[in-house]
Structure 1
Amino acid sequence: MLELSLSTVFFKFVVINIALFVVLVHGANSFTRHDFPPGFVFGTGSSAYQVEGASNQDGRTPSIWDTFAQAGSMHGDTGDVACDGYHKYKEDVQLMVDTGIDAYRFSISWSRLIPNGKGAINPKGLQYYNNLINELISYGIQPHVTLHHYDLPQVLESEYGGWVSRKIVKDFTAYADVCFREFGDRVKYWTTVNEANVFSLGGYDSGNMPPGRCSPPFGVVDNCSAGSSSTEPYLVTHHILLAHASAARLYEKRYKDKQHGFIGMNIFQYWFVPFTNSITDKIAAQRAKDFYIGWYLNPLIFGDYPEIMKKNVGSRFPAFTSLESERIKGSFDFIGLNYYNTMHVKDKSSSLNLKIRDFFADTGVELIFVRNESAYEFPITPSGLVGILEDMKQHYGNPLTYIHENGQRTRRNSSLEDWPRVKYLHAHIQSLLEAVRNGSNVKGYFEWSLLDAFELLDGYESSYGLYYIDLDDPDLVRQPKLSAYWYSHFLKANRSFSSIGFIKSLSHDYFSH
């Protein structure tokens, strides 16, 4: 187990002095959370399968993520136990209180609440989410709830193919109705689907995410047991947008006047940068934005897909009826945005000549990830977040936005001294402040994540948490990392805050724990 002990004091002072030098060299403008507008919320997040555990307890049935993980698709890791948040939620809420956050973003496990995907509610599942919500509210923490986070009930996947079938629209709307009815008197912020664009691509084109559908030669997994990489990502997105709009219109009609809540959808976003200054690469960068981001934002804001997508995909692309377009357009109160890093874009229009294409070939671009020196952590590129927000302001009418995920990836068990995460958070929050001051309509920031959880792409190999959990410890004790102290220091600072001031305080605050 990693521990904070007096035997490491000398080493820590060396680390602190080095870090102080780094901060001084790179500069550290003072800013405080109070520089953000009134009502701006700071929080952190998680999702059901990544933290809850108790996968087969109290009536919960498998989701597609259970099935995917238990098939060995994630290095043999599963979320069967995860962080055991199902039993330790009170302890985790206390961590939030200690950290000083305003809001907590989490998801509801559809298969825990409604084990058959439709029909009867599971009393134990209902009780758990009521208890969690009530515990949060008792400490003044806003619950921000996501309805679908890669974890469709497996029973619906087995019955009719889940999101590839239009039947999902009715079942998702009924599930959302249950959540609005049972929790909406206390939950005011609802996200229908998390990272809808990534879910469509990873789950139905490359096949490296739940439910792992793909078709040769496009899948990155060894065997594509089912699916069509050429058509299913587009079909799934079509149904996600229809289901989202259906749930949003239901809320607007039946609950909004009484509950006064807000509905949104979450999209993963890169900031796309042309690989060169050539005209072709600049056009390719715009094409990448249209395919990865406009795929969802254009229907939600303008009522239809981008023209370049309809042109490149052709007959494989589903179309909205005029009534569907009308229902989808404007069917949100906010956009949830997940951002981690930039991506360079190179023109690859030659892929459009392929007889059989998937989404990635349809884009006609090559994405180039510029790695950090460690080749593991994300490069610190807060300018990308600013660019995305400016682009949303200029091209999409500056919609109300929440930064739902932003955080640094490190190797699990690397160290409690997670300076890369501290530097990452400082840089991005500071740049976010600049974007807000320049008119970006952002109302909240959620660090990813509260705990070292079961991660989507690599199970327990990577870490994003403010709090470390030793998986070999049967009690799964939570331990604060340096980033937890930094975030808390930022959130609780009454006067001007800087990383230098935080570092100077460590000799007392950090070692006292």
Structure 2
Amino acid sequence: MTKKLGFLLRLLVVGLVIAETVHGAYEFSRYDFPPGFVFGAGTSAYQVEGAANEDGRTPSIMDTWAHSDSGITSGANGDIACDQYHKYKVDVQLMAEMGLDAYRFSISWSRLIPNGRGSVNPKGLQYYNNLINELISHGIEPHVTLHHFDLPQALEDEYGGWISRNIVRDFAEYADVCFKIFGDRVKYWTTFNEANIFSMAGYDLGFMPPSRCSSPFGFLNCTRGDSLLEPYLAAHNILLSHASATRLYWKKYQNIQKGYIGLNLLSFYSVPFTNKTEDVIAARRVTDFFMGWFVEPLVYGDYPEVMKNNAGSRLPSFTALESQRVKGSFDFFAVNFYSANYVKDNPESLNIEPRDYFTDMAVQWKYKQGNASSFMNRFPPSFEFPLTPWGLQGVLELFKQNYGNPPIFIYENGQRMQRNTSLEDWPRIQYLQEHISVLLDTVRNGSNAKGYFTWSLLDVFELLDGYRSGYGLYYVDLDDPELRRYPKLSAKWYSRFLKGGSITPDSSIELEGNWSSLSSAQAMR
């Protein structure tokens, strides 16, 4: 058995043991984590800011997508969202009262530089300066993402956005503006959010902006795009853009500003559906396609061999100079984790012509019960994610064993629930408790994880279904003209944890009748 196959099987066994035993099985607190370990929460610009047509902001591809007949968000959009553009002081006060160390948010490129390049919008500049200053004044560290699915529509219209090499120059210039203006106070930069999902869902399946795909592969009725080529091309240009921005930061700013820069991916931890060798190899192949697609160029300077073999000439090649620039262009990685996948080998798909990115993977997606599923069916009608905290351990172990154990921030982790007025979100509390517990075990086992951020601070506009689901610690009343925020029970749980309270298997019992202090202090804002 190869070393890699042995490693995968060991992780599978460990994962199954944890899955049976975790359930908040022991007492822990935030002080059990290493000194300096950061805990926070996150949102993104389009999903939380609102004010989409105010103060000089122009549309992004997110606006265009949300206002199109996509069928994903049920006609909802982020024009108003949670109105954090006007209510940022309220939200920062909630963060401070909760005890957050840090807040992860993104900058709207089209709010800061409305044409995608050229002059800076003074109102956009003022907003982000105000937000950053407000956070720092309350002792909250800003973690800033430069691109969260929201390229300015002007650049998409001009040359096709991420499928054009022109984007590399424009992204570097945008990043340069951000570093120059905000870098004296922002020490943690992420170039792209979920670069792998943006490339796949935006350019192969087409259900995310900019909704490019081609029949028969697209999730929606495709009117433009090429699912065979564009996901690989967009990812290639994202990697070149990331490397360009990172090396610019290192050269011009890092020595003075003392900050760090990385890239964010959605981490799909894939488990073989059976213990057959072909399924174990298939799980590794999915990991190479989802994670290795971006991590291996950044760590080793090239794409995984299985991607080059299966995609062939459709996968762009790095020149020697490009490989040199991309390799090593990170200070940290950031991962988002929600749940694990089960996969089964499907070699027949490699006989299909033509093939897209998903067909190249040659797997079938499975639920644990054995039902075949598509990518979109990973979000079941019950709304809630299955509890697979051992998958987070698997992802962190993968980075430790295969990629040199780089610094890692978990930038998103949270439980999806149907959005309603109930504030007693017990499944979310269980989800957070079990994932943080497993994270502690993994850090004690040598993982170089540096921080954990739950998604999300508020119930925001969600990309998969608008306002039908919510991940927030706070409920936002969309029927209230003031958009008041109300703390859920999970906000109380997280606040207790952040302030050093011990978390035990019985912590939820103590919460049941003892969360009115947070509620009375923070509701009705």
TM bin, normalised by shorter chain, reads over 0.9
Change in Cα spacing, 1:460 to 1:118, as seen in structure 2 (3 Å) is same
Give the partner amino acid of 2:27.
S
Q: 2:67 aligns with which of 64, 70, 95?
A: 70
State the alpha-carbon separation in 2 of the partners of residues 156 and 338 from structure 1. 27
Q: 2:313 aligns with which of 309, 312, 315?
A: 315
**Aligned partners of 1:372 and 1:379 also within 8 Å:** no
Report what 2:161 is aligned to.
162
Give the partner amino acid of 1:280.
E
Report what 1:417 is aligned to.
424
1:460 equivalent to 2:467? Answer yes
Q: After superposition, where does 1:360-509 map in structure 2 within 5 Å? A: 360-370=358-368, 375-413=382-420, 415-493=422-500, 496-501=502-507, 503-509=509-515
Give the partner amino acid of 1:498.
T
Q: Spell out, residue by residue over 1:193-212, the C-alpha distance to the aligned partner (whole angstroms, 9 max, x if none).
A: 00000000100000000010
State the alpha-carbon separation in 2 of the partners of residues 207 and 449 from structure 1. 25
Change in Cα spacing, 1:376 to 1:506, as seen in structure 2 (3 Å) is closer
Give the partner amino acid of 1:66.
D
State the alpha-carbon separation in 2 of the partners of residues 26 and 385 from structure 1. 15
Give the partner amino acid of 2:330.
F
Q: What is the CA-CA distance between 1:271 and the residue it aligns to?
A: 1.2
Q: 2:49 aligns with which of 48, 52, 63?
A: 52
Q: What is the CA-CA distance between 1:77 and the residue it aligns to?
A: 0.5
Give the partner amino acid of 2:216.
P
Report what 1:197 is aligned to.
196
Q: What is the CA-CA distance between 1:502 and the residue it aligns to?
A: 5.1
Change in Cα spacing, 1:456 to 1:373, as seen in structure 2 (3 Å) is closer
Report what 1:352 is aligned to.
350
Q: What is the CA-CA distance between 1:376 and the residue it aligns to?
A: 1.9
Q: What is the CA-CA distance between 1:470 and the residue it aligns to?
A: 1.3
Report what 2:239 is aligned to.
241
1:123 equivalent to 2:129? Answer no
Report what 1:153 is aligned to.
152
Report what 1:112 is aligned to.
111
**Aligned partners of 2:492 and 2:511 also within 8 Å:** no
Q: 1:258 aligns with which of 253, 256, 259?
A: 256
Identity of aligned pairs, percent? 64
State the alpha-carbon separation in 1 of the partners of residues 364 and 489 from structure 2. 37
Report what 1:287 is aligned to.
285
Q: What is the CA-CA distance between 1:64 and the residue it aligns to?
A: 0.1
Report what 2:180 is aligned to.
181
Q: What is the CA-CA distance between 1:72 and the residue it aligns to?
A: 2.9
**Aligned partners of 2:33 and 2:440 also within 8 Å:** yes
**Aligned partners of 1:342 and 1:369 also within 8 Å:** no
**Aligned partners of 1:28 and 1:500 also within 8 Å:** no
State the alpha-carbon separation in 1 of the partners of residues 424 and 513 from structure 2. 14
**Aligned partners of 1:345 and 1:365 also within 8 Å:** yes
Q: Spell out, residue by residue over 1:168-227, the C-alpha distance to the aligned partner (whole angstroms, 9 max, x if none).
A: 000000000000000000000000000000000100000000010000000011x21110
Change in Cα spacing, 1:25 to 1:35, as seen in structure 2 (3 Å) is closer
Report what 1:13 is aligned to.
none
1:37 equivalent to 2:37? Answer no
Report what 2:91 is aligned to.
92
State the alpha-carbon separation in 2 of the partners of residues 195 and 345 from structure 1. 21
Q: What is the CA-CA distance between 1:385 and the residue it aligns to?
A: 0.4
Q: Spell out, residue by residue over 1:454-510, the C-alpha distance to the aligned partner (whole angstroms, 9 max, x if none).
A: 01111111100000011111110000000000000111125x332524532542333
3-state SS of 1:98 partner: helix
Report what 1:299 is aligned to.
297
**Aligned partners of 2:22 and 2:434 also within 8 Å:** no
3-state SS of 1:71 partner: coil
State the alpha-carbon separation in 1 of the partners of residues 426 and 390 from structure 2. 20
State the alpha-carbon separation in 2 of the partners of residues 509 and 391 from structure 1. 38
State the alpha-carbon separation in 2 of the partners of residues 396 and 182 from structure 1. 33
State the alpha-carbon separation in 2 of the partners of residues 460 and 46 from structure 1. 14
**Aligned partners of 2:24 and 2:504 also within 8 Å:** no
Report what 2:10 is aligned to.
none
Give the partner amino acid of 1:70.
H
**Aligned partners of 2:23 and 2:505 also within 8 Å:** no
**Aligned partners of 1:267 and 1:336 also within 8 Å:** yes
Report what 2:9 is aligned to.
none
Gaps of 5+ in 1: 1-23
Q: What is the CA-CA distance between 1:278 and the residue it aligns to?
A: 1.2
3-state SS of 1:287 partner: helix
Give the partner amino acid of 2:491.
A
Q: 2:516 aligns with which of 507, 510, 513?
A: 510
Change in Cα spacing, 1:115 to 1:276, as seen in structure 2 (3 Å) is same
Q: After superposition, where does 1:216-235 map in structure 2 within 5 Å? A: 216-221=215-220, 223-235=221-233
State the alpha-carbon separation in 2 of the partners of residues 100 and 403 from structure 1. 18
State the alpha-carbon separation in 1 of the partners of residues 215 and 384 from structure 2. 31
Q: What is the CA-CA distance between 1:139 and the residue it aligns to?
A: 0.6
3-state SS of 1:72 partner: coil
Change in Cα spacing, 1:75 to 1:320, as seen in structure 2 (3 Å) is same
Give the partner amino acid of 2:92.
V
State the alpha-carbon separation in 1 of the partners of residues 201 and 246 from structure 2. 25
Q: What is the CA-CA distance between 1:413 and the residue it aligns to?
A: 0.7
Give the partner amino acid of 1:58.
D
Change in Cα spacing, 1:365 to 1:196, as seen in structure 2 (3 Å) is same
Q: Spell out, residue by residue over 1:310-356, the C-alpha distance to the aligned partner (whole angstroms, 9 max, x if none).
A: 01111111000011101111100000000000000111111111110
**Aligned partners of 1:295 and 1:306 also within 8 Å:** yes
Q: Spell out, residue by residue over 1:88-135, the C-alpha distance to the aligned partner (whole angstroms, 9 max, x if none).
A: 000000110111010000000000000000000000000000000000
3-state SS of 1:39 partner: coil
